[in-house]
Amino acid sequence: MTHPNTGSHRAVESVYSNGPSAVQNPLPQASIAETAKILADVQLPTVAKGPIIRRPRVVAVVERMGLEARAVTRMQDMAKKYGQGPLLLAVPGRNMAVVLDPEHVHRVLEGSPEPFATAETLKRHALKHFEPKVALTSHGSDRARRRETNEQLLDHSHHIHRMAEQFMPAVRQEAAELLERVDAAGGRMDYDMYFGAWFALVNRVVLGDSYREDTELVELMETQRARGNWAFFRPVDTSARAAILTRIEQAVDGAEPGSLAALMKQMESKGEIDGSREENIQQIPQWLFAFDPAGMAGYRALALLASHQDRLDAVRYQIADQQLAEAPPLPLLRATVLESLRLWATTPMILRETTREVEFDHGVMPAGTSVLIFAPFFHRDDANLDFAHRFAPEVWDHQRTREEWPLVPFSAGPGICPGRHLVLLLTSTFIAQIVGQRSIDLLSHSLEPDNLPVLLDNFSLRFHLSGR
Ligand code: HEM
């Protein structure tokens, strides 16, 4: 196996496979032609859009050409033909499978990290450019410790993060500054304006108030994430990576009150988290990186509200009534962000890798197989869901719907996103400041409520905001 940090290889090798498979009863296998179509229709658009950092021009093309809808149709065709699956793909030199059955989504995600490791090969190569020791691409006891660190710091099992009250002034200030800028621009809001305000907030929450305008770290991260888009095809820029980690470590040492960096330092000194300083620091780039899709999700949620006046009225009613002590607060806004993520998943490909042979009803999956769960197939499967293409926040009230059908924008099982409650808290309270104070019209798109597009390009969404 090549060392994950050399960046010098051209072939993807699995950590988990032990040479040729001894599998006697393999799962159904797609033909070479079908594999080519699946890779072209499902994997290629996601990879081209940029799995680690989006390429806005490609996103626009994928939206215009309806490629995301084609991907869902391709998966539906495969499910019709192969039934339960999982379906093995005919990729030379690599074991790959796609999940076709809702039950198998639950099984794979519940069975992480053994036998379905989160540390999948492609993911490791993509993330090593800025966080080789992140929990997601670690395994065994390293993963367990790093996952626990994330769970502790992100308050994974609570709707309301223990520092929520400290975050709220920053939420209000950044939203107010955004609204001032929008007013000065004649009421027009584009993604750059929204994202600028959102990231000022994110920098304050993660690193501290003095990092509010630290565009240097954001740019360093963007450059490394762009390398991550190329995974193993680009060598690691170790000095840029070190520069990111040094800056983050300075923030932890600086421990500005009200920041997650300060919480890390405090928990380290009290012995409440176990990792070494080096590995703890490496969890933070994942947070900064993952707040980027949270920005997209919040902005698209605004598009949903602008096109559903009745829901917007209900949201405003809840905002007027808002109590942070309620659990969870602003339920309709949270469900709107969840719907934004169901309709337009920001992590469309959830990848796992088998650590050993795994038996399914219809055959055995070899060790070292990369297993792809393509979330849009399950979220937008109109063959099975009557709400597939409409805004249906009520589905998030029904635990049973989610148990029966995998709606997995934040994944599920032991590898579920530990930041999900913090994301929902910050996005919902930030958006509440906008829709609570302004009327909102969507200028760039006309969304049909019963037929929402399978991809909505956040970069080209534009709004008009006016006083209420
Ligand atoms: C809209 C925003 C977000 C979405 C949709 C999202 C979704 C996900 C998904 C699907 C995974 C599983 C990935 C996989 O298994 O390959 C994941 C993992 C993770 N997310 Fe999020 N995430 C978001 C934001 C955040 C934020 C803001 C943080 C931190 C503050 C965060 C922290 C993490 C961490 C640490 C993991 C790795 C968990 C593990 O190793 O078990 N995420 N997220």
Q: Is the CB of 425 under 6 A from ligand 1?
A: no
**What is the pLDDT at residue 7?**
34
User: What distance in Å separates the CA atoms of residue 313 and residue 327, rounded to the nearest whole number?
Assistant: 21
Two tokens at 257?
């009150």
pLDDT band at residue 237, thresholds of 50, 70 and 90? confident
Pocket of ligand 1 contains residue 206 by CB under 6 Å: no
Per-residue pLDDT tens digits for 312-347: 999 999 988 776 555 678 999 999 999 999 999 999
Asked whether residue 4 carries a pLDDT value surpassing 60, the answer given is no
* pLDDT > 80? residue 349: yes
Residues in CB range of 81: below 8 A, 6 or more apart:
none
The reported pTM is: 0.94
- Report CA(376)–ligand 1 centroid distance (Å): 17
311: its two tokens: 């829901």
Q: Tokens for 172?
A: 């209000």
CB 312 within 8 A of CB 371: no
Other CB atoms closer than 10 Å to residue 146's CB: what's the count? 24
The ligand 1 atom nearest the CA atom of 296: 1
Which tokens sit at 60? 């626009």
The CA distance from 228 to 222, in Å, is 9
Q: What percent of the chain has pLDDT over 70?
A: 93
Indicate the SS3 state at residue 354: strand
Roughly what angle, to the nearest 10 degrees, separates helices 260-269 and 284-306? 140
For residues 188 and 179, what is the distance between their CA atoms, to the nearest angstrom? Answer: 10
- Range with lowest mean pLDDT among 12-26, 68-82, 100-114, 168-182: 12-26
Atom number of ligand 1 nearest to Cα 150: 35
Of 458, 464, 452, which is closest to residue 179 (Cα–Cα)? Answer: 464
Cα 324 to Cα 262: distance, rounded to the nearest angstrom: 22
Is the pLDDT reported for residue 6 higher than 80? no
Lowest mean pLDDT segment, chosen from 7-16, 27-36, 97-106, 182-191: 7-16
Under 8 Å between Cβ of 215 and 107: no
Which residues does residue 188 pair with via DSSP β-bridges, in sequence order?
A: 464
pLDDT at 230: 79
Q: What is the pLDDT of residue 189?
A: 98
- Tokens of residue 148, six digits: 């626990």
Indicate whether residue 164 lines ligand 1 (CB < 6 A): no
Separation of CA 313 and ligand 1 centre (Å): 31
Average pLDDT rounded to a whole number, residues 254-279: 96
Percent of the chain with pLDDT strictly greater than 90: 76
Given a cut of 80, whether residue 233 has pLDDT beyond it is no
Which tokens belong to 428? Answer: 């919902």
Judge if the beta carbon of residue 149 lies within 6 A of ligand 1: no
Q: Is the CB of 409 under 6 A from ligand 1?
A: yes
Quick check: helix, strand or coil at residue 418? coil
What does each C-alpha distance from 414 to 314, 323, 423 come to in angstroms? Answer: 34, 31, 18
Interatomic CA distance for residues 268 and 257, integer angstroms:
15
pLDDT (tens digit, 9 = 90+) per residue, 439-468?
999 999 999 999 999 999 999 999 999 987
48 compared with 399, residue with greater pLDDT: 48
Q: How remote is the CA of residue 337 from the centroid of ligand 1, in Å?
A: 15
The per-residue b/e assignment along 362-387, b for 16 or more CB within 10 angstroms, e otherwise, is bbbbbbbbbbbbbbbbbbbbeeebeb
pLDDT number for residue 212: 94
Span 197-217, pLDDT tens digits: 999 999 999 999 999 998 888
- What's the DSSP call for residue 356? S
CB 306 within 8 A of CB 319: no
Taking residues 100-115, report their average pLDDT.
97
141 burial (CB, 10 Å; 0-12 / 13-18 / 19+) is: exposed
Identify the CATH assignment for 32-467 out of 1.10.630.10, 3.30.70.250, 2.60.450.10, 3.30.160.60.
Answer: 1.10.630.10
Distance CA 37, CA 44 (A): 10
Contact in structure between 292 and 56 (CB atoms under 8 Å): no
In this structure, the number of other CB atoms found within 10 A of the CB of residue 232 comes to 22
pLDDT of residue 404: 81
User: Residue 141: what pLDDT?
Assistant: 97
Average pLDDT, the chain: 91
Mutate to test the pocket of ligand 1, among 157, 342, 417 (most ligand atoms within 8 A of CB): 417
307 is written with which tokens?
A: 């096109």
Contact 51, 349 (CB under 8 A): yes
Token pair 């290889």 in the structure block, residue: 9
Closest residue by Cα to atom 14, ligand 1, is 350
Å from CA of 320 to ligand 1 middle? 31
Phi and psi at residue 189, to the nearest 5°: -125, 125
Structure tokens at 393: 């926040």
Cβ atoms 34, 96 nearer than 8 A = no
Q: What is the 180 CA–ligand 1 centroid distance (Å)?
A: 32
51 lines ligand 1 (CB under 6 A): no
Average pLDDT over residues 283-305: 97
Q: Which residues contact 255 (CB under 8 A, 6 or more apart)?
A: 208, 261, 262, 265, 266
The protein residue whose alpha carbon is closest to atom 36 in ligand 1 is 417
| pLDDT at position 8 over 70 | no
Q: Is the CB of 202 under 6 A from ligand 1?
A: no
- The pLDDT of residue 350: 97
Mean pLDDT (whole number) for 146-153: 98
Rounded Cα–Cα distance for residues 262 and 211 (Å) = 13
Structure tokens at 149: 């660190």
Residue 411 Rama label (left phi>0; alpha psi -120 to 50; beta): left
Q: Hey, which residues does 465 pair with through a beta bridge?
A: 440
Average pLDDT over residues 67-93: 94
Query: What confidence score (pLDDT) does residue 380 get?
Result: 97
Q: Residue 131 above 80 pLDDT? A: yes
**Three-class DSSP category at 364:** strand
pLDDT given at position 66: 86
Ligand 1 center–CA 410 separation, angstroms: 6
Which atom from ligand 1 is nearest to the alpha carbon of 346? Answer: 5
Name the pLDDT band for 5 (thresholds 50, 70, 90). Answer: very low
Tell me which amino acid residue 267 is. M
CA atoms within 13 A of residue 455's CA, in its CB half-sphere: 25
The more confidently predicted of residues 13 and 81 is 81
pLDDT digits (tens, 9 = 90+) for 35-73: 999 999 998 988 888 888 888 898 888 888 888 899 999
pLDDT for the residue numbered 2 = 33
Cβ neighbour number for residue 250 with a 10 Å cutoff: 12
